Amino acid sequence: MSVLPAMDVAARVDRLRPRLADAGCDALVVTNLVNICYLTGFTGSAGLLLVLGHEMVLATDGRYREQAGEQLATAGVEARVEVGGAAHQRRTIGEAGAGVERLGLEATHVTWAQQRAFADEWFPAAELVATTGVVEELRQVKDAGELARMAEAASIADRALDAVKVRLAAMGPDASLSEQEVALALEVEMRHLGASGSAFPTIVASGPNGAKPHALPTSRPIGRGEMVVIDFGATVDGYRSDMTRTLCLGPPATETLARMFEVVSDAQRAGVATVSAGRPASDVDAACRAVIDDAGWGTAFVHGTGHGVGLDIHEAPAVAATSSDTLAVGHVVTVEPGVYVPSQGGVRIEDTVVVTDGGCLPLTLSPKTLSPENLSPNEGCLT
């Protein structure tokens, strides 16, 4: 795996603090572990971060005594780390936030029980304020270090798919692989190439299973002439890629399948061509949907066109008809129209792209052709 540029994790809290007043609070309790990772570099499975005007306090348990300090030091983040059981965390975080009048909570990540505990036990003197998306909005615009990791994750996925395509192309007419075997091969190959893991559960859906947009791989053998929807991605340093390609062993078994692939390909190109900074994200959805509507399959396009990608596989901005988001330079989004017909199967084609002033740059570079004999270009698009 190539050497990746450093990320300026330490600067993120400086961009967060001015946003707290707009959210109606003087300090923020961060309970979403992905947001804690974004602000500090800490990747443990348990933790709570208090962001004050003058310091940050990270509380976690004894499993992460060494890891927390090491990861914050590597990220160049200055924060007080408190390690101990629940009582110790409650006492130290409560004391650190004792002078805060208006304390923000992440509304979409705090349970009712947690809110009551914060109000009654942790911060009894503070006014608790529900906030939404304060850290997530910062995460939407990726810096150079983040983009490099996402480009590497996309390159790993491209190369893994190439390896699996070689196996598929080499199969004789009487040989077959199951959906599960293809999924496993992709996941193993991504690990060999340096990924820390899959970006999400891999989808390999052949024949009638392809008509289920999020079908899980089964033991079903992949037949010749049927569509195989392959949706997967890699993770590098927590950052994810997302790509869907639809393949077919030999020519499509029906004219309808061939037409479905043609229409989805046209729709996906139209959507990618619409991506640009300053455009409403809903315009991208509309561009894809218009092509599929014109072909008579509007009701067979049953999901939104895309979503943001980063530390989460699904994050803002949303690329859908109902989205109120506007695309900006540095956003990373997917464009993934699909058509699903139970009697035929399904077709979906997806790229992850970086939004630019004049359009977008694709991170996923695998050819969008049906034949598994077509392999990816050797070079990536971002360094």
Alpha-carbon distance of 144 to 333, in angstroms, equals 16
Digit-coded pLDDT (tens) for 143-189 = 999 999 999 999 999 999 999 999 999 887 877 899 999 999 999 99
266 and 340 together in one domain:
yes
Q: Are residues 151 and 279 in the same domain?
A: yes
Transcribe 147-194 into DSSP letters.
HHHHHHHHHHHHHHHHHHHHHHHT--TT---BHHHHHHHHHHHHHHTT
Determine the residue type at 267: A
The pTM (predicted TM-score) of the whole model is 0.95
Single-letter amino acid code for the residue at 272: V
- Are residues 122 and 173 located together in one domain of the fold? no
Is 370 contained in some domain? no
CA distance 375 to 367: 6
Q: How far apart are alpha carbons 341 and 45 in whole angstroms?
A: 40
State both tokens at 224.
């010749």
- Residue 267 placed within a domain: yes
The enclosing domain of 164 has a CATH number of: 3.90.230.10
Is 382 contained in some domain? Answer: no
What is the CB neighbour count within 10 angstroms for residue 186? 23
In a domain, 77, yes or no: yes
Cis peptide bond prior to 221, omega within 30° of 0: no
Token output for 189: 């190959």
**Tokens 């024949």 label which residue?**
207
Distance of CA 61 to the CA centre of its chain: 28
201 lies in the same domain as 113: no
158 & 45 share domain: no
Do 237 and 199 form a contact (C-beta atoms < 8 A)? no
What total number of domains does the chain contain? 2
Domain assignment present for 383: no
Q: Cβ(199)–Cβ(240) under 8 Å?
A: yes
Domain extent for 282: 144-362
Amino acid at 341: V
Give the end of a domain, one of 77, 112, 139: 139
Q: What is the pLDDT along the chain (383 residues), one digit of tens a residue?
A: 678 999 999 999 999 999 999 999 999 999 999 999 999 999 999 999 999 999 999 999 999 999 999 999 999 999 999 999 999 999 999 999 999 999 999 999 999 999 999 999 999 999 999 999 999 999 999 999 999 999 999 999 999 999 999 999 988 787 789 999 999 999 999 999 999 999 999 999 999 999 999 999 999 999 999 999 999 999 999 999 999 999 999 999 999 999 999 999 999 999 999 999 999 999 999 999 999 999 999 999 999 999 999 999 999 999 999 999 999 999 999 999 999 999 999 999 999 999 999 999 999 999 999 999 988 875 434 43
Distance CA 338, CA 373 (A): 23
Task: Point out the domain boundary residue: 80, 113, 139.
Answer: 139
pLDDT digits (tens, 9 = 90+) for 83-110: 999 999 999 999 999 999 999 999 999 9
Segment 233-261, tens digit of pLDDT: 999 999 999 999 999 999 999 999 999 99
Where is the domain boundary, 96, 120, 139?
139
Could you tell me the sign of the dihedral formed by the alpha carbons of 230, 213, 32, 360, in that order? Answer: positive
